[in-house]
Structure 1
Amino acid sequence: MIIGITGTIASGKSTVSDYFIKQGYEVIDADKITKELQQKKEVLEEFREIFGEEVLLENKTLNRTRLREMVFQNAEALEKINQIMHPKVREEFEKRKREHAQEKIIFFDIPLLFEAHFENLCEKILLVYADREVQITRIMQRDGSSRELAEKIIASQAKEEEKKKKSHYIIENNGSIEDLYQKLSKWEEMFNENCRSGRK
């Protein structure tokens, strides 16, 4: 079974993934796949052709800071990036899924699961969410961002209420890591019990 882990920025998706890795589950990380793919020569060439030389650093790696600026300045830039990356991420995910076909449960950590229309890759979806003020504080502390930028980043993602409607399981993460791990432990116990009884 493929369970997608998603949520808005600074909701705690990575912490949730870390928990399941510690429990011995296979977790496929879409962000890591994306970064690995963006190191490939042919992918960098696609970025250069579309966005120009300014998206490459002197060492010919991707200038992520400049790319991020482009996205916030122009919505079309994000669409172009998605056109380059989404098919490649999907293909790599399918490959890794086949490599771990013996696993009963595989988690797919993908922040923009709904925005990328990857729902059909998952049998169940686990949404991690945090209140907006908690998200803003975490972004500012983690990235050193201004409040204004943090608010823009949150606003650029799909609305949380819509994500909740499309998800099978919802985990609230406004507290400490210890609180989150307790919730995940209870969820894991409930999920496994439902699987054993055939309810899921």
Structure 2
Amino acid sequence: MLRIGVTGLMASGKSTVARRFEERGARLVDADSLGWEALRRPDVRDRLRERFGDAILTREGTVDRGVLGRIVFRDAAAMERLNAVVQPVLIRMVREALAERPEDGVVVLDAALLSVWGLEPELDAVVEVLAPVAARIERLRASKRFADPEARERIEGQVLPPVGASKRHWRIENAGSRSDLIDRADRTWDEIMRLRPRENTG
């Protein structure tokens, strides 16, 4: 099984690339979706409640991700407390998802934090999606996930460590249209697929 990681900053287009790889035949592991699942776990919810109080819970008793996000965004200590609870659970879930169905020929991991989580050594290839700051801010605004000031703050405040130089590493520049990005994703997919015979023969 060939394992591909797709990473990039917020609104860079990484999820578009990962979904395109899924359309080309890969099984998709979406770290963000697994993050939602982790927050729904009673053990995670209870530990977060101990650290952040009832304010992070909805009326139904589930974790309100929006409220929690606003608490930790400008508070490094709060972010560390959040990560101490969620990240070990989430990383374990990601590893389990990657290991499922080994008969699948290709699996793609959509995860902004794959380098932070130490998952690079477990991947055969990493695709990094890059985009100009201004374009990323505009995409985040257009998505209506955040109001204008918060969109700019989140984009300008996000920093990720560089992808390891030793890894088979592709960069996709996303400064144009969505169709341009899809074309670049297809070319990258084709290049990576040429690795498969070499990977399979050791």
Structure 2-normalised TM-score? 0.88
Q: How does 1:113-124 map to 2 (within 5 A)?
A: 113-124=114-125
Q: Which amino acid aligns with 2:129?
A: V
SS of the equivalent of 1:27 reads strand
C-alpha offsets along residues 161-192 of structure 1, whole Å, 9 cap, x if unaligned?
x3486761101112222111111111122222
2:59 maps to what in 1?
Answer: 58
1:119 to partner: Cα distance: 2.4
C-alpha distance in 1 between matches for 2:123 and 2:80? 23
1:150 to partner: Cα distance: 2.0
SS of the equivalent of 1:58 reads coil
Residue-pair matches, total: 199
RMSD over equivalenced CA pairs, Å: 2.3
From the two aligned structures, give the one with the greater helix fraction.
Answer: 1
2:98 maps to what in 1?
Answer: 97
Residue 33, structure 1, aligned to residue 27, structure 2: no
Closer, same or farther in 2 for the Cα pair 1:11/1:165, shift >3 Å? farther
Q: Which amino acid aligns with 2:114?
A: L
C-alpha distance in 2 between matches for 1:152 and 1:102? 43
* Structure 2: runs of 5+ lacking an equivalent: none
Structure 1-normalised TM-score? 0.88
1:105 to partner: Cα distance: 2.1
Of the structure 1 ranges 46-55 and 76-85, higher mean CA displacement relative to structure 2 is found in: 76-85
C-alpha distance in 1 between matches for 2:10 and 2:64? 21
2:47 maps to what in 1?
Answer: 46
Residue 24, structure 1, aligned to residue 25, structure 2: yes
2:76 maps to what in 1?
Answer: 75
Q: Percent identity?
A: 27
1:120 to partner: Cα distance: 3.0
8 A Cα contact 1:17 1:27, kept in partner: yes
1:183 maps to what in 2?
Answer: 184
Closer, same or farther in 2 for the Cα pair 1:55/1:147, shift >3 Å? same
Residue 15, structure 1, aligned to residue 32, structure 2: no
SS of the equivalent of 1:112 reads coil
Q: How does 1:159-198 map to 2 (within 5 A)?
A: 159=160, 162-163=162-163, 168-196=169-197
C-alpha distance in 2 between matches for 1:23 and 1:31? 21
C-alpha distance in 1 between matches for 2:160 and 2:98? 29
Q: Which amino acid aligns with 1:177?
A: R
8 A Cα contact 1:127 1:164, kept in partner: no
Q: Which amino acid aligns with 2:130?
A: Y
1:155 maps to what in 2?
Answer: 156
* Structure 1: runs of 5+ lacking an equivalent: none
C-alpha offsets along residues 99-128 of structure 1, whole Å, 9 cap, x if unaligned?
221223211110122233332332321101
C-alpha distance in 2 between matches for 1:148 and 1:115? 27
1:70 to partner: Cα distance: 0.9
SS of the equivalent of 1:182 reads helix
Q: Once superposed, which parts of structure 1, at least 4 consecutive aligned residues long, lie more than 6 Å away?
A: none
C-alpha distance in 1 between matches for 2:102 and 2:198? 22
